[in-house]
Each structure stands twice: as structure tokens, then as C-alpha cells.
Amino acid sequence: MLVELTVNGELKSADCPPETTLLKFLREHLMLTGAKLGCDVGDCGTCTVIVDGKSVNSCLMLAARAAGRDITTIEGLANAQQVHPIQEAFEELGSLQCGFCGPGMIMSAKNLLDKNPTASRPEIKDALSGNLCRCTGYTKIIEAIEDAGRVMSSTKPLHSNL
């Protein structure tokens, strides 16, 4: 079937079998490999993308259900000149080790901070409740999101020199 959707502001389309998940569609049909395949059952959050303003586990959504919708992936956050403040804060604080959870963590954080850049620590923890990190632990990740929120709302970061 032909699936047409908007990804990172650009109209994209590709043919795929009807059972194709949005994650597989992004990775194998559009070659956008930022969203990662972890558990494939909705437990780990490595596949998180934003669909019409909501963070979604793309391994659980059929590409056909995403047709006509507006998708943002990690590839849509940076350009050649500038990375997103969340990415900058993760780098500044060394928030990741292997990095596998990073795209999902950052997309969940973006979905939160776009709506609430002054999110409290409990609100950040709640927003990340579907994202698992097997190696770093969560402290530096949460601190980076706090700092990015402060940059996005033009207040001074607490943990870094951003």
C-alpha cells in the first residue's frame, strides 16, 4: 500500500506491506534510522517519535495509521548549523553512554518541553516513564532536560555552562 505522511516538515511517501509499523517505515522505507528498534513491544521507548504533537512508540503504530499525519523524528531537531538545546544539554552534561536510548529520550523530552519548558523534575520523570536507559542511569539525563528547558525559557541552566 502507498503511505503518504509528513516527516520533519517534508511530504514523504513509500509503498509498504499493510502490516508495516511506523518505526519500520521510517527506518527501512524512508531511511530515517534515528528512532531505534529496541523491544518492539512498547516497553523501552527507543522508537519514540512525535505524531501530531504527541509522543508515540512508533513500533506500536502501523504506518497506515500515520498516513496524513505530521511526524517529527530526531533527524528533524538539528540542522547543519545548529543542534537543538536538548541535544546540546545532553552533550554538555555527558548524559549518554552507549547512546541507544538517546533519540527516544530526547524526543520524549522535546514533546514535554515544547508544551512546558519550565517542567518540574517530577514532570520530567513522568514524561520519561516510558523510556528505559540500560547504562547511564537517569540523573544526567534529567539534569540535561532541566537545563534545556531553562535555555528554551531563557533562564540560566542549573547544571551546565550552556
Residues that bind ligand FES (CB under 6 A): 37-40, 42-47, 57, 59, 96-101, 133-136
Please say which residue, 116 or 132, places its beta carbon nearer to ligand FES.
132
Cα atoms in the 13 Å half-sphere on the side-chain side of 92: 21
CB of 75 to ligand FES, least distance (A): 17
CB of 102 to ligand FES, least distance (A): 6
Please say which residue, 13 or 98, places its beta carbon nearer to ligand FES.
98
CB of 155 to ligand FES, least distance (A): 27
Please list the residues that pair with 14 across neighbouring strands: 3
Please say which residue, 131 or 160, places its beta carbon nearer to ligand FES.
131
Q: What is the layout of strands, in order, in the sheet containing 48-51?
A: 10-15, 2-7, 70-72, 48-51, 54-57
Which one-letter amino acid corresponds to residue 138? Y
- What 3-state class would DSSP assign to 139? helix
CB of 42 to ligand FES, least distance (A): 5
Please say which residue, 11 or 41, places its beta carbon nearer to ligand FES.
41
Nearest to 7 by CA among 51, 58, 54: 51
Q: Are strands 54-57 and 48-51 parallel, antiparallel or unpaired?
A: antiparallel
